Amino acid sequence: MVIPDGEGLERRGVTLEDVQNRVNHERPAAAEIGDERPTRGTPGRRFPVTRGEFGGKALAGVLLAALMLLLPFALAAQPPLRVGTSGDYSPFSTRIPASESGDRGKPTYGGFDPELARAYAKDRGLEVVFIRFRWPDLLADLAADRFDVAMSGITIRPERSLAGRFSVPIALSGAVALVAEESPARVAEDLDRPDIRIAVNAGGHLERVARARFPRADLRAIPSNNAVIEALISGAVDAAISDTREAPHWQHRAPGLRRIGPFTRDRKALLVGADHASLSRDLDAWLLGWESRGALALLRQEYLGEGGPSGGESAKITSPLPALLAAIDERLALMPLVAEAKRLSLVPVEVPARETRVLEAAVAGVRRAEDELKSARRETIPEVAIRKFFAAQIEAAKWLQRETLAGTVASRSGTPPDLETELRPALIRIGDRMARLLVSLPAGLGASRIEAATLRELVGSALPMAQKRAIARGLIAVAGAEPREEADPLQ
């Protein structure tokens, strides 16, 4: 006997969600398994089961009777959502030992990201399996398909954009240094000395920040994040690098520590495998919906301590406009690598034929998104506006590439990623998210509101003000915004 999976049911004109709704069957609660052994991905995994419709009442009646018998088997056949998490980065991810978990003697995970994973899995009728990763192994584990999505306070960075698909941002943070209260260091520059010992977690975003920010210091990259704070408490180092989210927890654990910074502005997001396009799109849609209903803000308040009338530092970061600007920022952050790849392969910065193809692909991508997200936008975006918006980004990208080749914009040392097999696929993945966010922009966005958000959010590169304003004008054209309106500080 062949038990149909979600895809098989859809071919019959029925989805698991339809059946569940019609028979009033309660979705299974999310199950958790701590410290699962590494597993390869299941071939043909599909996320999520999408909404379909019955072909007719007669067919629906016949199928409903049959599927009521098959439903338990079909649900059981759904593969679990495999979530990679570190368990060592409070408040985003903490490992709860077996002795404290209350889950039949199994360890489990708590914090902002595991709770977000449980909420998504519950809404999608999936089990969730947590798989622990070490920060130095994150990208290797993602490439090996150990998990479908990494959720652990992951900072958007270029090397991670090359490896997978980021979701829309879910929180903001900033890198800081913790020192003893009696330390003479008062500003970040005081720590950049050869006699200053600085501990930082190895393999993550903060190690890259520390190496760039404190090149003269005695930097000690420690594989275990928990051991970083221990090194500072014991006096083995003079400072420890953390961020605005984690530092309060370390200061609570060790009173007498003082914070220096922040000296970066970082976005946190979920990281999905490059091949899991449907999961990536569904996570974005779900996150945008959760933000619009206020549910994501409540989770931030509980785990990140954000709240109050303003909604906190991350307020509205997951709404379409700032999420779109974050995608532009992510794309521009790849341009120094594109420049180095072009230098190596002797490709000029400006290739008109390539730019034409990019603009054509951008228009086609927006049209596909409009077709798929019909309920999100009533009017078709004019092609001239789409071209203006993406042309402004092309000009900004070329400016960054030229400045990189001239040595005025820093780039990563070593052999750059391959232009055709690594960089351009990553740019296409980001472009796919941008197209869907463009279509999801709400009506009524004013020009000054859009410009203020653009100038605030495009912070990941050395882009000059003129280039930022050109991108803002393109975005204003796409949104069909009025020329004058007061800026909204939350958008």
- Which domain range does residue 138 map to? 6-170+269-304
Instruction: Report if residue 484 sits inside a domain.
Output: no
pLDDT at 307: 61
Q: How far apart are CA 154 and CA 145, in angstroms?
A: 17
Stretches where the chain sits below pLDDT 70 are 1-77, 101-105, 307-315, 375-378, 410-411, 481-491
- Name the domain boundary from 277, 304, 331: 304
> Please, where are the H alpha helices in 346-382?
352-372
Say if residue 413 is in the same domain as residue 386.
yes
155's CB contacts (< 8 A; 6+ apart) are 173, 204, 205, 266, 267, 268
pLDDT at 204: 85
Say if residue 406 is in the same domain as residue 334.
yes
pLDDT at 316: 76
pLDDT tens for 195-217 read 999 999 998 899 999 999 999 99
Say if residue 165 is in the same domain as residue 187.
no
Q: How far apart are CA 218 and CA 191, in angstroms?
A: 10
Say if residue 116 is in the same domain as residue 184.
no
Say if residue 26 is in the same domain as residue 89.
yes
Say if residue 331 is in the same domain as residue 461.
yes
Q: Cβ(134)–Cβ(87) under 8 Å?
A: no
Instruction: Report if residue 486 sits inside a domain.
Output: no
pLDDT at 207: 93
Distance of CA 282 to the CA centre of its chain: 13
Say if residue 114 is in the same domain as residue 257.
no
Instruction: Report if residue 430 sits inside a domain.
Output: yes
Say if residue 114 is in the same domain as residue 200.
no
Instruction: Report if residue 491 sits inside a domain.
Output: no
DSSP state of 25: P
Say if residue 432 is in the same domain as residue 355.
yes
Say if residue 287 is in the same domain as residue 338.
no
Q: What CATH number does the domain containing 223 carry? A: 3.40.190.10
Beta strands of 171-249 (E only): which ranges? 171-173, 175-180, 197-201, 218-222, 239-243
Quick one: which of 119, 89, 111, 105 has its CA closest to 34? 105
395's CB contacts (< 8 A; 6+ apart) are 467, 470
Name the one residue in this structure whose structure tokens are 């966010």. Answer: 437
**Predicted TM-score (pTM) of this structure:** 0.81
Q: What CATH number does the domain containing 438 carry? A: 1.20.59.10
Q: How far apart are CA 254 and CA 256, in angstroms?
A: 6
Instruction: Report if residue 423 sits inside a domain.
Output: yes
Instruction: Report if residue 364 sits inside a domain.
Output: yes
pLDDT at 195: 95
pLDDT at 317: 86
In sequence order, the β-bridge partners of residue 267 are 172
Instruction: Report if residue 490 sits inside a domain.
Output: no
Say if residue 159 is in the same domain as residue 222.
no
Instruction: Report if residue 489 sits inside a domain.
Output: no
Say if residue 164 is in the same domain as residue 188.
no
Number of folded domains that form the chain: 3
Residue type, 343: R
